[in-house]
A and B are shown apart, each in its own frame.
Chain A
Amino acid sequence: MQNGVRVRAREGGENLVETPDSASVREPEAELLEGARRGDVSAFERLFQTHGERMKSLAANLLGSPSEAEDAVQETFLKIYRAASSFRGSASLSTWAYRVLVNTCYDLLRRRARRPESPVSWVEPPVDFGSAPAADHPLRVDLAASLAALDSRRRAAFVLFEVEGFSHREVGDILGVPEGTSRSLVFEARRELQRRLWGSREARA
């Protein structure tokens, strides 16, 4: 489902993804937006084919559960379908989709916090790590546990930048903050992760 889409170099740039011909990226974005505004379901399908995997991964890292991640992606597509005809935002359709997804995840986390009697356990489904360059990194399990302890905002910034490879400008657009705030959030997240990982390393020693 990845369609050969790869993450663009982080610094600068405006589009979330790039193909060999960057001009061909802008045109489909505009076309997608037009199609989405008309309520054309195939436009949403193309958006899902291009960004679905990344959206699932982002939601899974924010929510800690693959089934909830899929629910969040479904809810996101339904929201953007309902609102696309009136969407006049300055951001691209895909940036907007990620923004709606992050806010949907925040909503789900808030709802979950109101019912603490049903804790979520992460049960990893059969996972293809083919596109993850450091899938067997020794720090992966500890890092995932420490990440889950971060506040949702810093976690979102860290996952968007460090895990999913968005640039700070894109993270800023998605979280609705200036680029500088995105840098601060990622830096603070990394510092908190360092503190937690060091603590657990010392506890084990």
Chain B
Amino acid sequence: MSDCRRFKEWLDRGTEDGFSELETHAAACDPCREHLQLWNAISQAAPSLRKRWESPELWVRIEKAIHESRRAEEASRGRKESRAWWPLLAAAAALFLVAMIGLRVFRPSLGQRELLTSRSFSKPLLTEDALSDVEKSEERYVASIERLSRLAEPKLRQPSTPLLISYREKLLLLDTAIAELRSQLDQNRFNTHLRKELLAVYQEKQHTLEQVVREEKS
């Protein structure tokens, strides 16, 4: 295959890896040199797309929005607290009544009493510690997926079959979904629904990478 054709094919389908050897050819070949010049000009022209303009009002707008958000949050908290007061009081009274009746009727044994006064009942269901454990396991899982990703990377960088190309596209979509979910989770760490969704996407990524690695072996 001629170098010109290889250069053209590289422009159509190539990857970063094959560039240096073809660059030498293009520097010495008039038609290919034009393509190469345009290729290099893209990076040279890119910084000219930086946009700088004065917007003296922008910080004022942001500050105002932050203060409004803070006021709305405080007002909402105040409303919730005042609304929550009577139902909580009623619920506490009802609970106390039921507990008193229960104690009179059932009279728990010493063992049961120990169980009822055990410290574990005083802790909330999902604590910061528990969440930290979840995050640590998630980090380990992500690290193992990254290792798998490195195994699959050479094949994905130069996909030799349409199937591998579609795997690569799928992985890009999955990475987008992961980035979005992680961004949402950064804002709401205790959201278990988001965590489940993120886990499902990671599992799909793991499954896809395994298929890529198997494809590599076959």
Contact = CB atoms under 8 A, between A and B. Distances in A.
Interface of A: 2, 39, 41, 44-45, 48, 52-53, 56-57, 60-61, 66, 69-70, 73-74, 77-79, 81-83, 86-89, 96, 99-100, 103, 106, 124-140, 143-144, 147, 153, 158-159, 162-165, 175-178, 180-181, 183-185, 187, 190-191, 193-195, 197-198, 201
Nearest to A136: B48
B102 to A, nearest CB: 38
B154 to A, nearest CB: 10
13 contacts: A66-B53, A78-B66, A89-B186, A129-B50, A132-B49, A143-B48, A163-B49, A176-B178, A184-B15, A184-B16, A191-B14, A197-B38, A201-B38
A144 B45 CA distance: 10
Nearest to A183: B16
Contacts of A74: 58, 61-62, 65
B212 to A, nearest CB: 14
A178 B53 contact: no
A82 B180 contact: no
B58 A70 contact: yes
B16 A66 contact: no
Given A78-B65, A194-B42, A197-B38, A127 B53 contact: yes
Interface in B107-148: 135, 146
Given A39-B70, A44-B66, A127 B52 contact: yes
Contacts of B33: none
A178 B149 CA distance: 9
A135 B44 CA distance: 10
B41 A77 contact: no
A189 to B, nearest CB: 9
Nearest to A185: B172
Contacts of B42: 139, 143, 162, 190, 193-194, 197
A89 B183 CA distance: 9
Interface in B27-79: 35, 38-39, 41-55, 58-59, 61-63, 65-67, 69-70, 73
Interface in B163-177: 172, 175-176
Interface of B: 11-12, 14-16, 35, 38-39, 41-55, 58-59, 61-63, 65-67, 69-70, 73, 135, 146, 149, 153, 156-157, 172, 175-176, 178-180, 182-183, 186-190
A163 B54 contact: no
B48 A134 contact: yes
Contacts of A176: 175, 178-180, 182-183
Contacts of A190: 39, 42-43
Given A187-B15, A194-B42, 11 more contacts: A2-B52, A39-B70, A44-B62, A56-B58, A60-B51, A87-B187, A99-B183, A176-B175, A190-B39, A190-B42, A197-B38
Contacts of B146: 178
Contacts of A44: 62, 66
